[in-house]
Structures are given as structure tokens and as C-alpha cells.
Amino acid sequence: MSEERFDCIIVGGGLAGLTVAYLLANEGLEVLLLEKGNYSGSKNMTGGRLYGNSLERIIPGFADIAPVERRVVKERLSIMKDTVMQMVEYDASGVFVQEQEGESYTVLRGKFDKWLSEQAEDQGAMLVCGIRVDDLIIRDGKVCGVVANDEEMESDVVLLADGVNSLLTQKLGYKNKLGTNQVAVGVKEIIDLGADVINQRFNLSDGEGIAWMFVDSNEVCDGFLYTNKDSLSVGVTLKVENIHKAESSVPQMLEDFKKLPEIAPLVSGGRLVEYSAHLIPEGGMDMVPKLYGDGVLVAGDAAALCANLGFTLRGMDLAVESGRLAAEAILAAKEEGEFSEQSLSGYQTAIEKSAAISCVKGAEICRKAVTDADSMKDPLDAFNSALQSAQIGGKAVGDNG
């Protein structure tokens, strides 16, 4: 038995884990967050766009103090069909998602997560970096703590936010090994250009950004481009099950993508400063595992909460939202005085009812509507109605359940 005990141990210092740490520490709980990297954000990666509302609820006005790169004011969507590419550009504020989820910002996780971890530490959470959690302590089916490098640490409740390839939820049996139809691989380059060049090339003012998605109707290789403060995030994503359709390797796809006549002039003269790759959960609601157990909750990418809506990709705001709901569930369970499966079960219901997270259900329908050639006539209307119908459908399922 260890002499020390925490109220909650959080595995993983991404947005979901940090949100829970922030909220629980704010309520005065003893929280320990274990992160594998040397600091929060050192191993975290995304394309780069965060919808603000879910974090705004936790830290009002975060965009003014956090190291966000640019506020997205313009959206572009290109639909690639064989060799033909059509592009629409529209004002970000007219999109249904933005109306619901607030302003969106481009972020670089290395900076942003580091900032959020400092906020959580200010609230009193204990962050320990450089520790990989190998296993969970399970007694009579109840999760009692974590094992890292043969050391044990106990807590009332453990929150698993260990990312898309969550080995701990697999160990608990909540999730199987990732299937090829469940994940996409994303590869991203950050290309340094300087703020002035970006403003000029994209016709932006300081602090304003663009989010540009490329959807491949053959479902081989999607692409994205986001503007950061001084750099561009350019990348491609490929659903692993479609890899047989691809004619080149994934890194080569990114090279080819950068050579497209639409992209080449925008990145020319830039300096590559970062190259990264990551898995993206795209299995929709079917991939979402059981999210609670005796003494344990699952949040963020580990819970497969990510939605590829075609014209946008959401994951970070869902991670924050799931973190908030998990923190609420833990606080409610603490009130009850026990962290049993029963008392934590409200979390799964809350996730299923959450308006933000319902987009995971509609993701596939929405992406299909985007690739549908007809949608090009009036793309905005098509996406919005597709998303709305998906949301309503999701709501109905939630209510019945």
C-alpha cells in the first residue's frame, strides 16, 4: 500500500485531461496528472482548429490570454473529384457549427497545452511529466490507481485521457484494438513564412486566420491548411482502411499535396519547422467505447470523440467538453461519497445528450453531403441542413436511450 493517495489521477496531459485537472483542482480536490512527455503538449498534435465555446465555459475570455494563433474568419472548402477541384470561400460566421460552438481559433498544441497545464497548476493540480502509466491497479473489478514503472499510486477515481490509441481502455476491455475503419492517419508540416507574408497571401489582417479543408470524393486523401501566427499548418489525412486505394506513401501524398497548383504558391519560400503525424479517431459513434466503470472514466480521444464533418474537423472542443462532463460526474460521485460504476454512469448519459458531442453521430452523413456533387450548387445550405438533420437525429437517439 502506498502512503499517499489522491482524489483523482488523470492519465494524459492533453486537452481532456487538463480540463478535468483544472476543474477538479478548482473545486479543491487533490489531483495528480501524469503525462508521458517532458511537458504537456510535447507529444500532442492536431491539425489546428479549436472551437471556443466548450473552453469558454471553463475559462471565460480564454482567447485573450491563451496563446491562440489566429481567429478563423474565413473558411475555404475544396472538393477534389479525380483531377478536378472546385473551391468555395465563405465567411466563417455563417456556418452552423460556429453559431453553435462559438468562434474558432487555430492553435499549436505545443504552446497551447503548455499554457493550459500552467492554468491547471495554478488551480492546484499536481502535474508530473515524464511518467508513462503502464497499467491500472484493479481490485475486485474496481480501478484503484495506476502503475508506472513498477510504482503504484492510488486514488478514488482514475480518468483515462491517454489519447486515440488508448492502451489502458483496451486493457480494461472497454475497447478493442483499433480497427482500420476506425482511424485515419494525419501528417502535418508546419511551414514558417512570417506573419506579413501570410497576411498578404491570404488577404488577412493580424490575428485573423483561415481554415481550408480539402475533401477527396474518392475518399483517399483529404487535406487541410490552417494559418498560424507566423506559419502554415499543411497536412493530409487518410483513412487507414482506404490505404489500398492510394498510389503513393502517406509522406509522398503530403509532398504531392503541397505541389497542387492551389497550394504551391502559398507555401513557396517557406521553411519547414515541424513535421508530425497522428492518428485521428473517425469511427463515429460506433467507436465510442464504454466510458465509465468502477472507479474509472474515459475522456477525449481515448473516448473516440472526434468528428470529421467534411468541411471541418472537430476533436479538441469535444475533448474539452468531455473533460467538463467527466469532472461534473466525478464531483457528483464525490457528493454521493462513492465512485462505483453506478454513481459514475451519469457520465455516459451526459456525453450522449451533449449537444456538442452529438456531431460525432452526424459526422458521416455530413461528410457525405459535402462530397455530394450537388452540394456544390449551394454548399453552405447543404452542409448546414445536413448537419442540422444529423443533430436532430442524434438528439432523438439520445432521448430514446
Partner 1 sequence: MQRIVVCVKSELDATGPIFLIEPTVKINTKDLVPILNPADHAALALVRNCIAQEDGQITVLTVGPPSADKVLRTCLATGADSAVRVWDDSFMEEKMDAKNISLLLSKAIKKLDAELIVCGSESLCETSGYVGPALAELLDAVQICKVDFMQCDDGDGSMVFHRKHNYGNREVISSSLPAVVTVDFGAATPPVVSMKESIKAKKMPITLFDLAELACESSEINADANANILQYIPPRPRTKKLNKAPDKPMTKQQKMQMMLGGGASKKNSSVVEGNPKQAAKEFIDFLIAQRIL
Q: What is the DSSP letter of 77?
A: E
| Shortest spacing between CB 269 and partner 1, in angstroms | 16
Positive or negative, the CA dihedral 269, 274, 277, 283 is negative
**Rounded least distance, CB 39 to partner 1, Å:** 5
At its nearest, how many Å lie between partner 1 and the CB of residue 364?
37
**Distance in Å, CB of 116 to partner 1, minimum:** 15
The string of DSSP letters for 24-68 reads HHHTT--EEEEESSSSTTTT---SSEEESHHHHTTSTTHHHHS--
Shortest Å, Cβ 285 to partner 1: 35
Are residues 32 and 55 in contact, defined by beta-carbon separation less than 8 angstroms? no
192 vs 208 by CB, closer to partner 1 = 192
- Nearer to partner 1 by Cβ, of 41 and 310: the residue is 41
What distance in Å separates the CA atoms of residue 265 and residue 17, rounded to the nearest whole number?
39
Contact (CB, 8 A) for 77 and 159: no
Question: 38 or 93: whose CB is closer to partner 1?
Answer: 38
Nearest approach, Cβ of 42 to partner 1 (angstroms)? 8
* Residues of the shown chain interacting with partner 1 in the complex, contacts defined by CB under 8 A: 2, 4, 32, 34, 38-39, 42, 110-111, 114, 126, 128, 130-131, 148-149, 151, 153, 192, 273-274
Which residues does residue 264 pair with via DSSP β-bridges, in sequence order?
none
Nearer to partner 1, 102 or 110 (CB): 110
Nearer to partner 1, 27 or 30 (CB): 30
**Separation of alpha carbons 240 and 282, rounded Å:** 10
Distance CA 105, CA 71 (A): 4
For residues 129 and 260, which CB has a smaller minimum distance to partner 1 in the complex? Answer: 129
